[in-house]
Amino acid sequence: MKLTRLRLLGFKSFVEPTDFAIEPGLTGVVGPNGCGKSNLVEALRWVMGESSHKSMRAASMDDVIFSGSNTRPARNNAEVAIAIDNSSRSAPAAFNDQDSLEIARRIERDSGSNYRINGREVRARDVQILFADASTGARSPALVHQGRIGEIIRPSPTSAAACWKMRLVSPACMHAAMKRSCGSKLRKQICYGSRMSSDNSPRRLTA
């Protein structure tokens, strides 16, 4: 999976429409502290289906919307979109009819998010599975968030154990989409079975 473009509008510090081309080879972003470099990585994770506002360094998910400044009013919505080269036709069958895919996520203040793939509204789960099929996604270890390098260099006992656990399970990441789907089905079967057992359990009769 190859990302070719990132577009932001109203996401955190990117109040104006901003297009970020991801060219072949190594693409870097250089700038002083506070210019928004970390917001680019968080925008990628957000559009890939990140559901935790804490991972966005926010008190709530609405906080990813530009909150205003001394010279600019706050926005009521934000949108992030990424373009993906699908010339190899490796996307899930439902979205595999075009050479490129555009995945977009839009959030309205106090109204939640919605997702689109090539203009068609989809579920968050559809987006997450699309990236899981490519062994990536919002929780991919390839996306290093702010402070992560420090955690690796100077790990606490808890974070060191988590890193070791990640190394142990990483060979299974290629089957992430399958595990996600099977896990969901298994949970439904367990819930259904528990309900049936409860319904069929002996009842004490009283006169």
The full set of domain ranges for the chain reads 2-138, 147-196
Q: With contact defined as beta carbons under 8 Å apart, do 64 and 80 qualify?
A: no
Count the residues in the chain. Answer: 207
Token representation of residue 174: 């290629």
Q: What percent of the chain has pLDDT over 90?
A: 33
Residue range 135-149: average pLDDT? Answer: 67
The CATH number that domain 2-138 falls under is: 3.40.50.300
Among the ranges 87-96, 119-128, 163-172, 194-203, which has the highest mean pLDDT value?
A: 119-128
Phi, psi of 175 (to 5 degrees): -105, 25
Query: Binning pLDDT at 50, 70 and 90, where does residue 162 land?
Result: low
Beta carbons within 10 angstroms of residue 90's beta carbon: 13
| Sheet strands side by side (includes 112-117) | 18-21, 2-9, 77-85, 100-108, 112-117, 120-122
